[in-house]
Amino acid sequence: MSDPLLILAVGVCIVVGGIIGLKLHPFLALLLGAFVVALMTPASAIEQFALAKGTAPAAAQALAKKGIGERIATEFGNTCSKIGILIAMAAIIGKCMLESGAAERIIRSMLKLTGIGKAPIAFLVSSFFIGIPVFFDTVLFLMMPLAKAMTLRIGKNYLLLVLCIMAGAAMANSLVPPAPGPLFLIGEMHIPIGLMMIAGTIVGLFTITAGYFFALWANRKWPIPLRDSLDAKLEDIKLIAAKEDVHLPGLGVSLLPLLIPLVFICADTVLSTMATPGDPLTQSAVLKVVKFFGDKNIAVVTGGIAALLILAAHKKSGKEGLTPFVQAALMSGGGIILITAAGGAFGGMLQQTGISTRIADMTKDYQMALIPLAFLIAAVVRTAQGSATVALITASGILSGMASNANLEFHPVYLGLAIGCGSKLVPWMNDAGFWIICKLSNLTEQEALKTISPLLVVMGLTGLVIIMIGAQLFPLI
């Protein structure tokens, strides 16, 4: 009963069966799955998991002795600490941009530049390059209001726009530093950051192209309309879409809620990469200011303040001021936070079973080509426990010794890219990002499973093929 694979299977049945079969609310199904997984996990497995992460022996024993409720609550809180402020402020930014007409202004300007036919490509490429310095979920928060406004403007292709945003952000997150996963990977496998950035961008562009064609097919097969939501009612968006240009904010002002977080996060990333210990640059006032505002939470809060100011300037409201708009946004964002944090708790309980170590043991003696092996390990770990970053870390730890092998017939960057592509397979209900995209886009769980999950599978497999061809033609050694 303590085999991690058996515990994983039970957890999967509870969550998927609860949501799809019993029609349970995802929050309840995920918490129930986390409780059963935690109940089935022996204390020795929890202690070994903690030790493998580098935890001190005393702290590992203390974790193993904690009650089930406390461990679930801890993982729930850890997920909230990562995404709680981001989701709340992103909900406010989205609501304010829709209500003030800022999203409508950006859409009109984008259509003038690209035309209606190329708008999805603009979303795809923009999400990819924004996703390089910015966290995956932040890209979704920034781009989804634009997708809703664009759908009302062109009257169709909502699913296509959602999938384009997802495709671009997801691949950048696992292939191109300074995203956290790739950044750890290049350190573990001793890959030059510049080479990983260039190679990751090249492979990423191939994969998102494949993703675009899948998105076109899925949009034709399962057309999904833009639906009413608590924070973005269709009637309100239609009224804004009917406004004349003179009554909308200017383009520069409209972009501020998006550009402020993006610029500060990018600047912090660049300066942190360039600065070295003892460098006078690390002590400069400019760097301290950039690092303060470059924190993802503070950057998004700053963007939220800008969005509220724009709304205050362009929306005639009653004596209650902006309170109704903020309250509607937070009611929507609160539900997303709860479901996402429950998904994080479920994934955290799966990790404590030792599923990653079990998978590593199963694959260490598996004799096959290293590139497909790297891809397979990352894919299995991602599917099992839900985190692409954990999959990257696990697979790079297993293969780091092979990457330094003098007899390797190609540069280790190809192993790193294979791990990055493998970490995309397969997103489902144990993945916090799955719930974020579901709730931001108003897709049902079934719709997400038959569109978003296969989208990432297609892109991941495309990346594997491109990497194997590249390693054969351009070994870089």
Contact 104, 241 (CB under 8 A): yes
| The two structure tokens encoding residue 118 | 């190329």
Q: What is the pLDDT of residue 192?
A: 81
| Structure confidence by residue, pLDDT tens digits, 400-411 | 656 665 566 788
Cα–Cα distance for residue pair 308/315, rounded to 1 Å? 10
Q: What is the pLDDT of residue 458?
A: 95
Report for 214-218, 264-268, 315-319, 335-339: range of highest mean pLDDT = 214-218
Q: Is the pLDDT of residue 206 over 90?
A: yes
Q: Under DSSP, is residue 55 helix (H, G, I), strand (E, B) or coil?
A: coil
CA 251 to chain centre: 27
Alpha helix segments (H runs only) across 17-133: 26-40, 43-52, 57-65, 68-100, 102-114, 119-130
Q: What is the pLDDT of residue 278?
A: 62
State how far the alpha carbon of 115 is from the alpha carbons of 109, 112, 122, 135, 249, in Å.
10, 6, 10, 29, 21
Neighbour-count burial for 44-65, b at 16+ CB within 10 Å, e otherwise: ebbbbbbbeeeeeeeebeebbe
Q: What is the pLDDT of residue 359?
A: 65
**Residue 229 per-residue DSSP state:** B
CA 124 to chain centre: 15
Q: What is the pLDDT of residue 259?
A: 82
Q: Is the pLDDT of residue 374 over 80?
A: yes
Q: Is the pLDDT of residue 165 over 70?
A: yes
Closest listed residue to residue 347, CA positions, set 3, 44, 64, 74: 74
Q: Which comes out higher in pLDDT, residue 374 or 363?
A: 374
Per the listing, tokens 């929507």 go with 332
Cα–Cα distance for residue pair 343/243, rounded to 1 Å? 40
C-alpha dihedral, 111 to 113 to 116 to 120, nearest 10°: -100
Q: How far apart are the first and last CA of the chain?
A: 48
- Percent over 90 (pLDDT), the chain: 12
**Any idea where the domains of the chain sit in the sequence?**
80-178+200-325
| Mean pLDDT value of segment 285-289 | 77
| The two structure tokens encoding residue 320 | 């209650």
Q: What is the pLDDT of residue 159?
A: 92
Q: What is the pLDDT of residue 418?
A: 93
Q: Is the pLDDT of residue 382 over 70?
A: yes
**Across all residues in the chain, what is the average pLDDT?**
80
Report for 9-13, 122-126, 204-208, 382-386: range of highest mean pLDDT = 204-208
Task: Band the pLDDT of 356: cuts 50, 70, 90.
Answer: low
| Mean pLDDT value of segment 337-349 | 79
Task: Band the pLDDT of 191: cuts 50, 70, 90.
Answer: confident
Q: What is the pLDDT of residue 367?
A: 41
| Mean pLDDT value of segment 377-398 | 74
Contact 377, 423 (CB under 8 A): no
| Mean pLDDT value of segment 138-144 | 76
Closest listed residue to residue 157, CA positions, set 206, 121, 127, 109: 121
| Structure confidence by residue, pLDDT tens digits, 7-46 | 878 887 887 788 777 777 778 888 888 899 889 888 888 8
Whether the upstream peptide bond of residue 178 has omega within 30° of 0, thus cis, is yes
Q: Which comes out higher in pLDDT, residue 449 or 344?
A: 449
| Mean pLDDT value of segment 212-235 | 80
Cα–Cα distance for residue pair 83/348, rounded to 1 Å? 15
